[in-house]
Amino acid sequence: MSAAVRRSPSLAARAGMAIGIVIVFVVVGPPVGFLTFLIASSPSDAMDTLTTLWSPPYFVVLIGGIAMSYVFGGGPLALAGLVVGIRQAYFGPGTWWIALATGLAVGVAVLGGVPVQLANFPSSDFSFTPAVLILSCVAPTLLCWLLVSGWYFAAPVRTDAPP
């Protein structure tokens, strides 16, 4: 046996990694969710919308929308980041299907808080379907998981277990 014994990371190191993963989710996720929502809410006009958004008055709307995405998406993506962060910091590497399930669960939870009248307002360009809102949670969760998929500690090894 080697003289150098490999030590397990401390609880503080594991908590720091989980917090780091949450920060990545909160910083990167909301703009991705906003752009997903923007494109998915009007698929037939997606290219027109994106090209028009770069013109001066719409560019301000785009920047305002990205800023507002932190208000509306920061909490749900922090929750998704916390689930992924705890999984990867304390239980080893996560898989894509765990990230997908987390994104779906957060999307359904967010959908539960949206008034039905807002989600299906017929005479507005702002109407969207529940699937668009869920996709706006799933896409950033998967992208952020992809960014942090290499950040993990192995699960702690029990030393008191019999051989």
> Lowest mean pLDDT: which of 13-27, 31-45, 114-128?
114-128
Are the beta carbons of 150 and 89 closer than 8 angstroms?
Answer: no
Interval 97-151: pLDDT, tens: 999 999 999 998 888 876 554 545 444 455 567 888 899 999 999 999 999 998 8
Name the 3-class secondary structure at 146.
helix
Q: How far is CA 24 from CA 28, 76, 82, 106, 111, in A?
A: 6, 13, 10, 17, 23
pLDDT(12) > 60: yes
Q: What is the pLDDT of residue 8?
A: 78
Question: How many whole angstroms separate alpha carbon 53 and alpha carbon 71?
Answer: 21
Interval 61-89: pLDDT, tens: 778 888 999 998 999 999 999 999 999 98
Mean pLDDT over residues 19-40, rounded?
92
Split at pLDDT 50, 70, 90, the class of 56 is low
Tell me how far apart the terminal alpha carbons of the chain are, to the nearest angstrom: 16
What letter represents residue 54's amino acid?
A: W
Please state the length of the chain: 163
Helix spans in the chain (H): 11-41, 46-53, 56-90, 96-112, 116-119, 130-148
> Lowest mean pLDDT: which of 36-40, 45-49, 151-155?
45-49
* DSSP label at residue 45: G
pLDDT(17) > 80: yes
